[in-house]
Structure 1
Amino acid sequence: MSRWVLRLVVLSIIILIVELYAFQALKTVTKNRYIRLVWLVVSALVYINLIYVIFSTSRSVGQTLEFQYAVGFMLTILIPKGVIIAVMFGEDVFRMAAKLFSWITPGETQPIGGRREFLSKMALGLAAIPLASFLYGIIQGRYNYKVLKYQLTFDDLPAAFDGFKITQISDIHSGSFTNAKKIQYGVDLINEQESDVILFTGDIVNNVASEMTHWISMFSKLKAPMGKYSVLGNHDYGDYVDWNTQADKAANFKAIQEVHPQIGFELLMNEHRYIEKDGDRLALIGVENWGKGFNQAGDLPKASAGVDKNDFKILMTHDPSHWEYEVKQDDFHYHLTLSGHTHGLQMGIEIPGLIKWSPSKYVYKQWAGLYEELGRFINVNRGFGYHAFPGRVGVWPEVTVIELKKGKSA
C-alpha cells in the first residue's frame, strides 16, 4: 500500500469517527427526521465533492479554485464537529468510568439521559461558533484587510531616513482571486498609506504566471515615490505543478519574473539596491526563497556582496525560517527583515494585548507580526491574499506600515 493511499485511509477513518460522534449528538437533541436528513445530505455532498475534485483534477494544473472551495467546505463542517467530539468524548469517558464503578460497588445508579441531552445541546451550541466563523471567513473574512502600523527606532539609522515609511505586502496569491471590487479596495488601501517605498515579499501566484494576467493593470497602480521592490516566494517557482517538461517549468518561471516589472516592481534575486536620500543611504537586500527543508535558492552572501557592514540594512526574504536559522545571528547585522509565507495559517484567535494564537505557531517560531531578538527585527506579514483554504478566520489579510525613526533604541 502506497503512503498516499495509507494517509487517505487513515483520514477517512478519522472523518468517519467524527461524523458518527457528531450525528449521535444530533440524535440526542432532536427526533426530527428532516433535520437529521439535511445533516446527512449536506455532509455527504461535501465529501463527495471533495473526492470528485481530488480525482478529477490533473496534477499538471496545480491547486485550483475548485480544490480550495472543496477543502474550505470540508473544514467548515468538520471543525465544528470536532468541537462536538471534544465535549461528548469527555461524557463517554465519564459514563464508562461510572459503569465500571457500578460493577465494583453495586448500588443504585443515577439516570444519565438528561445529562446526555444537556451536553449534546451544549456541544451543538459551541459548534455553531466555528461554523459561523468559517462561513464568515469564506464570505467576507478573506477581504477584511487590516493596516498594522509599527514605529521602530535605531540609533544607527542614517539621519535623512528619520521618518522613512515602508509599506510591506506579501503573498498576493493572485490565482485565488475572484472578486475584483474587493481586491481593488485592498490596492487602494495600500496607496492610502502614502509610504516612501512598497516592498512585496513573495508569492505573487499560486502556480502559474497567467494567474496574474487579469490583475496586472490593477496592481500597476500601486504608488511609492522612492520605489517598489519585490522578491520571490516558494509558489513562484512552479514547484507545485506537474509540468510536462522542464522547459515548460523554466518558461513559466521566466514569465513570473517578467510580471514584476509589469506592475512596476523591481525584482531582487539575490541582489541589493541602495536607496539614497539627502546624501545618506540604506541597503535594501532581496534574496530568493529560502525555506527550512525545501527550496533554498536564497543566497544571502551573494545578495549582500558589496554592501558595507556598517550600512543600515533591510532584508527581504519570503520565509521567516530563513531569519530564524541563518539571518538573525549573522555578524553582518541585518537590522530589519521582512517576510511573509505563513499566512498565520489564515485561522486563529488574535485579540490585541490579550491573545495571539494560531496553529501556525507550532510550525514557525515567528509566524505573524513583529519580533525582536539580538537587536534585530523581523516582521512576518500575514499576507494580502489567501491560499488552500478560501477564507480567513481571525487572522486577517494585512498591509504593514513600518516607520523608521532615528534615536536611542529602547
Structure 2
Amino acid sequence: MQRIITSALFVVLLLGVDWYVFQAVRTVSQGATAGTQRLISGGYWLLTLISLVGVAWMAVSRGTPPTALRTYLTSAILILFVSKLVVVLFLLVDDAGRLVRYAASKFGTQPAPIGDDGSPGISRSQFINRLALLAGGIPFAALLWGMARGATNYQVKRVVLKFANLPASFDGFRVLQISDLHTGSFNANPEPLERAVALINKQNADLVFMTGDLVNNVATEVEPHIGTLAKIQSRHPIYSVLGNHDYADYVDWSERGGATAKNANLDRLKQNHAKIGWQLLLDESQTIERNGEKIAILGVQNWGAQMRFPKYGNLARAHAGSGDAAFKILLSHDPSHWEAQVLEYPDIDLTLSGHTHGMQFGVNLPGFKWSPVQYVYKQWAGLYQQGKQHLYVNTGLGFIGYPGRVGFLPEITVFELRRA
C-alpha cells in the first residue's frame, strides 16, 4: 500500500511539473503555425505519457533484478525530470517577480516592463520562457552525453605525495588505485573494461590496489570479466578490499535461500577475487620489501560512519598485523572511515578509499569542484590531509544506477611516492 501511495504522489508531482513546463513550451511556440503548435503539444504530452507508463511499469516490477532496459528507462525519466525542474525553477522566479509587481501596483503606478508595451520584439514573458527552456536543456544535454560517452571515458590522474618517513628504497615507488568497478553495470560487455585494463597496464605501476565494490549485487556479475581483469599487471601482488555492495546487503534473499545463500554468495565473490589474481585483504596486513626495507599494506572490510552502511571492518586487527613498518598504506572503501577511526592511528600515512563516485555528476574544474555528494560526505573526491596523514578518494572506474558520468569521469589514479 505504501508503495502505491508513493508512486501515486510521484505521478502527481510529474504531472504538476509537466503542466508548468508546458506553459513555457506553449508560450515559446506562439509564433509558429497552428499545425506546428499542435505537433509540439502532441509530442510533449506523448513523451509525458511514455514517462508515466515507465514509472508505472517500474513500480509494478520493483524488486526484480535490474536489466539494461530498466536502467536506461529509469535514467531517461530521471534526465527529463531533472531538466524540467530546472525550467520550473526559472519560471517560479519569474512568477514570484510578477507577484511582487502586482502587489506593488496596488500601492502606486508601475512602469510597464520592456517588451510588454506593444513595442516590436519578443515579450518579456517569451524571453524568460526561452531562457528557462535553454537552461533546462543544459542538464538534459550533459546527462545524455554522460550516458553516451562519459561512463567509459577513462581518465588517468597523477598524484605526487611526499613523506619524510618513506623508506629510501621506495622513493619513486608508483602505486595505482582503481575502485568501484561495479561490473554488473557492464552487462557482460567486455569492451569498456578491456580498454580500462590496457590503460592501467600502460602506467607500468609497481603496485596496484582495488578499493571495493567489484559488483553491484551478486558475485556472478564479475564472472564474465574475470579473464579481462586478470590481465592487470603489477610488479608486486595486487591487493583488494570489499565495498558495501560486495556483501549483497541490497538483495532480498528471502526467496533466494536466506542467510545461507547470502553467505555462499560472499564466499563465491571472495573466490572470484582469487581467480582474478587479487589478494583480498580481510582486516589484515601484508608487507612489501625492497632492499631490506618494508612498507605495510593494510586492508579492512567495509566500514562506514553513515548509519545505513555496514561496519564490517576491524581496523584494530588489521593494524596489529602491520607491526613496526616505517610506512603504512590503508585500503578502506568508505572515506567516512578516515575521520571516524583511521586518524586515531597516526602511523597510517596514506588511506585510499572510493565509494562516493563523485555522485557521477558535478562540476570538476581546476581549483573548483562541486557535487551533491559533498553534502553527505566531508571527504568525497581527491586528496585530503590532516597533519601528516593523507586520504585519497577515488571517484571510481565503473558506474551504478545512472549509466553515465558528468564532470567526475571514471578514474585511474597513479601515485608517485617520494621521500621528503
For the aligned residues, what is the CA RMSD? 1.8
Report 1:302-341 matches (<5 A). Answer: 302-309=317-324, 311-328=326-343, 330-341=344-355
Q: 1:106 to 1:20 in 2, by over 3 A?
A: same
The aligned residue for residue 377 of structure 2 is 364
* Structure 2 residue 302 is the aligned partner of structure 1 residue 289: yes
**Which of 67, 71, 75 is equivalent to 1:68?**
71
Deviation at 1:362, TM superposition (A): 0.5
Contact 1:54-1:67 within 8 A present in 2 as well: no
Deviation at 1:310, TM superposition (A): 5.3
Give the letter aligned to residue 93 of structure 1: A
Alignment partners' CA distance in 2, 1:305 and 1:5: 51
- Once the two structures are superposed, residues 237-266 of structure 1 have per-residue CA deviations (whole angstroms, 9 ceiling, x without a partner) of 011110121111111111111110111100
Contact 2:7-2:59 within 8 A present in 1 as well: no
Where in structure 2 are there 5+ consecutive unaligned residues?
Answer: 31-36
SS at match of 1:393: coil
The aligned residue for residue 198 of structure 2 is 188
Contact 1:68-1:387 within 8 A present in 2 as well: no
Contact 2:7-2:56 within 8 A present in 1 as well: no
After the TM superposition, which of the residue ranges 254-263 and 106-115 deviates more from structure 2? 106-115
Deviation at 1:139, TM superposition (A): 0.8
The aligned residue for residue 24 of structure 1 is 23
**Which of 54, 62, 82 is equivalent to 2:59?**
54
Alignment partners' CA distance in 2, 1:209 and 1:117: 54
Alignment partners' CA distance in 2, 1:310 and 1:222: 27
After the TM superposition, which of the residue ranges 359-368 and 42-51 deviates more from structure 2? 42-51
**Which of 310, 329, 348 is equivalent to 2:362?**
348
* Aligned pairs, number: 402
Normalised TM-score (structure 1): 0.94
Deviation at 1:6, TM superposition (A): 5.4
Give the letter aligned to residue 335 of structure 1: D
The aligned residue for residue 13 of structure 2 is 14
Contact 2:354-2:393 within 8 A present in 1 as well: yes
- Once the two structures are superposed, residues 134-155 of structure 1 have per-residue CA deviations (whole angstroms, 9 ceiling, x without a partner) of 1110111101110000010101
Deviation at 1:109, TM superposition (A): 5.4
The aligned residue for residue 147 of structure 2 is 138
Contact 1:204-1:236 within 8 A present in 2 as well: yes
Deviation at 1:346, TM superposition (A): 0.1
The aligned residue for residue 168 of structure 1 is 177
Deviation at 1:107, TM superposition (A): 7.0
Q: 1:324 to 1:9 in 2, by over 3 A?
A: farther
Normalised TM-score (structure 2): 0.91
- Once the two structures are superposed, residues 255-295 of structure 1 have per-residue CA deviations (whole angstroms, 9 ceiling, x without a partner) of 11111011110000111101111111100000000012121
SS at match of 1:78: helix
Report 1:229-240 matches (<5 A). Answer: 229-240=239-250
Alignment partners' CA distance in 1, 2:241 and 2:338: 15
The aligned residue for residue 404 of structure 2 is 391
- Once the two structures are superposed, residues 8-51 of structure 1 have per-residue CA deviations (whole angstroms, 9 ceiling, x without a partner) of 45444433332222111101101411122212212321332233
The aligned residue for residue 298 of structure 1 is 313
Deviation at 1:226, TM superposition (A): 0.9
Contact 1:134-1:391 within 8 A present in 2 as well: yes
Contact 1:196-1:227 within 8 A present in 2 as well: no
Task: State the percentage of identical aligned residues.
Answer: 40
Give the letter aligned to residue 318 of structure 1: H
**Which of 34, 41, 44 is equivalent to 2:46?**
41
Where in structure 1 are there 5+ consecutive unaligned residues?
Answer: none
Alignment partners' CA distance in 2, 1:386 and 1:50: 22
Contact 1:43-1:77 within 8 A present in 2 as well: no
Runs of 4+ in 1 over 6 A off after TM superposition: none
The aligned residue for residue 165 of structure 2 is 156
**Which of 99, 114, 130 is equivalent to 1:96?**
99
Contact 1:53-1:70 within 8 A present in 2 as well: no
Contact 1:233-1:319 within 8 A present in 2 as well: yes
Deviation at 1:161, TM superposition (A): 0.6
* Structure 2 residue 77 is the aligned partner of structure 1 residue 78: no
- Once the two structures are superposed, residues 113-147 of structure 1 have per-residue CA deviations (whole angstroms, 9 ceiling, x without a partner) of 81111111111112221111111101111011100
Contact 1:309-1:332 within 8 A present in 2 as well: no
Alignment partners' CA distance in 2, 1:309 and 1:392: 42
Deviation at 1:307, TM superposition (A): 2.1
**Which of 190, 197, 208 is equivalent to 2:207?**
197
SS at match of 2:310: strand
- Once the two structures are superposed, residues 211-250 of structure 1 have per-residue CA deviations (whole angstroms, 9 ceiling, x without a partner) of 1111111111001011101000000001111012111111
- Once the two structures are superposed, residues 38-68 of structure 1 have per-residue CA deviations (whole angstroms, 9 ceiling, x without a partner) of 1221232133223312322435x3x443432
Deviation at 1:180, TM superposition (A): 2.5
Contact 2:350-2:389 within 8 A present in 1 as well: yes
After the TM superposition, which of the residue ranges 111-120 and 73-82 deviates more from structure 2? 111-120
Alignment partners' CA distance in 2, 1:309 and 1:254: 32
* Structure 2 residue 186 is the aligned partner of structure 1 residue 177: yes
After the TM superposition, which of the residue ranges 32-41 and 11-20 deviates more from structure 2? 11-20
SS at match of 1:47: helix
Give the letter aligned to residue 22 of structure 2: F
SS at match of 2:274: helix
